[in-house]
Amino acid sequence: MQIFEQYDPRNPKPEHQLLRFFESPMKTDGMDFYFIKQNSHFLVYRERVHTFPETSSRAGQSKLIANQIELPIPAIRWFIDVIEQKFFKPPEEGGLPAHKLSYEEEVAGETLHILRSMGAGCDHPGYTITNASRQSHMSSDDLQTLSLSDPWLFENGLMDYLKQLAEDYEQGRL
């Protein structure tokens, strides 16, 4: 399994193909997202600057908080299909049973998991994807995860963008 260094938008490597930058979909304390292709993987790097509150011993100081998830490129189509076929459809049409809020499958040799979240990194519900085959860059005790809110996915065009990426990959354009 290929190991990736964490992306640095201020010093990208030649092997990083920046596909798209998304400014934080949240108004305050949100993260900026960088969608990158590196070899046969799709990387989503996210970062934000945290300023410590006045009540903190580090009042006024800032710290960059950054992390990324690495997924095999076929996981883009898998993510779309799982949401549309497992979460949106009733059980009698192949969807998940009503009591089940997650789905796991191996994709291109990596174990991926999608969870329906009531707070997908913000005040909105959404989906959290975990790559159980890869450790977090922030803590080796955690797995790589990414939460995407319903408003960003379905009202602000992220799902449409992911569908276009999946099609580009399948047509050999990515």
Q: Is the pLDDT of residue 61 over 80?
A: no
Confidence of residue 17 (pLDDT cuts 50, 70, 90): very high
- Residues 6 or more apart whose Cβ sits within 8 Å of residue 35: 18, 19, 20, 21, 22, 42, 43, 44, 165
Q: What is the pLDDT of residues 89-121, one digit of tens each?
A: 999 999 999 889 999 999 999 999 999 977 555
Is the pLDDT reported for residue 34 higher than 80? yes
Tell me, what DSSP letter sits at residue 85? I
Which amino acid, one-letter code, is at 127? Y
pLDDT single digits (tens) 78-89 = 999 999 999 999
pLDDT for residue 24 is more than 90:
no
> If you average pLDDT over residues 58-68, what whole number do you get?
80
Kindly provide the b/e burial profile for residues 63-102, where b requires at least 16 CB atoms within 10 angstroms of the residue's own CB: eeebbbbbbbbbbbbbbbebbeebbeeeeeeebbeeeeeb
**pTM for this predicted structure:** 0.87
| Range from 5-14, 119-128, 130-139, 162-171 carrying the lowest mean pLDDT | 119-128
